[in-house]
Chain A
Amino acid sequence: MFILTKFSDLVQISPEDFSKHSIVAIEDNINAKYANKVVQKIGLCISLYDVLWTSEGLIGHGTGLVNVNVEFRMIVFRPFKGEVMLGRIRSSTPSGIHLRTDFFDDIFIPYEELPQGAEYNHSEQIWIWNFDEERLFYDNHEMVRFQVIDEEWHDQTPAGPTQAEDTPAKTPYKIKGSMAAEGLGVCLWWDGA
């Protein structure tokens, strides 16, 4: 579910941070820039793991910023294809079920990836799995197990004047999952004997 990614970047320490130890200032700088943000084709950055190398601090012309080149490793959320994970049901629509984890909201299970016999109940707006005469409910906020089958990336860099003003921003990183296989779906069905 989590990987380490090695980055190299320029860290600029502003004069008000000079009272901190350099390593603390660098750490804070990197975390402020990366934590809780998606890097395209890499994943959702969580936190700095360790600093591998730093250059000397250099002060350029014009500003009092100290420039340091740093090589470091980040903890990144990037589940691999086929990985089984836990998540919670956020909402259900006829097209499928939206899941979330506490820190990541964009997980979608399309209706084709639900087990055979699943149907959508329009009045209650939930999916129901008809299994051996039994009706099993995909209730909201229920903990489910799902398998990652695909991922979608949308670069959010502005496209310039050609971009229409009101186009809604697409989520930068979206996971597509499946709950069709045995053992997947609401945890209580399988664990609670």
Chain B
Amino acid sequence: MWQLNKSLVCLVSYSKGKSLNPRHCTIRSLTATVTHLLDFFALYLASLCRRDKTSYTTTTTMKVVEAQAAVLSNYEVLQHLTQQKDRYKQRKRRGPPNLETVVRELIQYLQSYPNPLSQKPSTYTPGCISQLLERLSPYELSKGEVVMILNLRPASVAALNTVIEEMSERFSDEQQEEMVNIILEVLGQFEAAQPDANGNADEAAES
């Protein structure tokens, strides 16, 4: 743009006959300036056209604005999908087939034993995530560790060990017990006392 302005100034000053620099007054330099100017206009027009095209046509306009805007727990995903399913049902219509497939399979995955979301009635509530975050905050767990706790609901110290890195070095035995108890209180657990619920699930898993 700066160059364009410069050549414009040259041209204007020449036409007004005010240019004091003799170099600018030769015919050759004038034609050079004009072609320079025309080139710039052509480029500018071309760029305009190009911009116009991309805003209308082609299907390759997908752009990733933010690769990871947030992390979702399984519970939140299930919540969203079931709500979406209800919405479709209310309107008495279906979504695109590829969406139907993946949603059906994902709900099936999230609701199969031993996933904690398979438990009926659900022990997860909308408030339980913030409650768990608050109660686990003194232990300074990483975000990923808390997400895994939410998703897997480890019910024993051994199970917690797979989720938390270098647990024995970071926490004492009492602290580990405390964490397991907090998880039990906030997120609930599978009822071991009811043999039929657990037994059935085990059989289903084996068959």
Q: A residues near B, CB below 8 A?
A: 1-10, 12, 24, 28, 31-32, 35-37, 39, 41-42, 46-47, 49, 58, 60, 67, 69, 71, 73, 75, 78, 80, 82-86, 101-103, 142-143, 145, 147, 181-184, 187-188, 190-192
Say yes or no: A35-B151 contact (C-beta < 8 A), given A5-B66, A73-B69, A182-B161.
Answer: no
Contacts of B202 in A (CB 8 A): 188, 192
Query: How many residues belonging to B are interface residues under a CB distance threshold of 8 Å?
Result: 55
Q: Does B188 count as interface, using CB distance less than 8 angstroms? A: no
Partner pick for B102 among A1, A28, A103, A143, CB 8 A cutoff: A103
Contacts of B161 in A (CB 8 A): 182-183
Beta-carbon contacts under 8 Å, B129-187 to A: 144, 147-148, 151-152, 155, 158-159, 161-163, 165
Say yes or no: A42-B115 contact (C-beta < 8 A), given A31-B96, A35-B98, A36-B99.
Answer: no
Complex Cα gap A1–B115 (Å): 13
Contact A9 B96 (CB under 8 A): no
Contacts of B43 in A (CB 8 A): none
Say yes or no: A60-B148 contact (C-beta < 8 A), given A102-B106, A143-B205, A192-B202.
Answer: no
Contact B63 A7 (CB under 8 A): yes
Contact B162 A84 (CB under 8 A): yes
Q: Does B108 count as interface, using CB distance less than 8 angstroms? A: yes
Contact B69 A5 (CB under 8 A): yes
Shortest distance from the beta carbon of A37 to any chain B beta carbon, whole Å: 7
Q: Does B80 count as interface, using CB distance less than 8 angstroms? A: yes
Contact A102 B108 (CB under 8 A): yes
Contact B162 A42 (CB under 8 A): no
Contacts of A145 in B (CB 8 A): 152, 162
Beta-carbon contacts under 8 Å, B181-207 to A: 202, 205-206
Contacts of A80 in B (CB 8 A): 144
Nearest chain A residue, comparing its CB with the CB of B163: A84
Contacts of A83 in B (CB 8 A): 144, 147-148
Contacts of B81 in A (CB 8 A): 46-47
Contact B77 A75 (CB under 8 A): yes
Partner pick for B72 among A4, A69, A142, A184, CB 8 A cutoff: A4
Contacts of A10 in B (CB 8 A): 55, 58-59, 61
Shortest distance from the beta carbon of B112 to any chain A beta carbon, whole Å: 7
Shortest distance from the beta carbon of A133 to any chain B beta carbon, whole Å: 21
Contacts of A7 in B (CB 8 A): 62-65
Contacts of B64 in A (CB 8 A): 5-7, 39, 42
Q: Does B19 count as interface, using CB distance less than 8 angstroms? A: no
Q: Does B42 count as interface, using CB distance less than 8 angstroms? A: no
Complex Cα gap A9–B58 (Å): 11
Contact A182 B158 (CB under 8 A): yes
Complex Cα gap A37–B98 (Å): 9
Q: Does B68 count as interface, using CB distance less than 8 angstroms? A: yes
Contacts of A41 in B (CB 8 A): 67
Beta-carbon contacts under 8 Å, B111-141 to A: 112-115
Shortest distance from the beta carbon of A34 to any chain B beta carbon, whole Å: 9
Contacts of B61 in A (CB 8 A): 9-10
Contact A181 B68 (CB under 8 A): no
Contacts of B108 in A (CB 8 A): 102
Contact with A along B87-110 (1 / 0, CB 8 A): 000010001101101110110110
Contacts of B62 in A (CB 8 A): 7-9, 39
Complex Cα gap A36–B144 (Å): 24
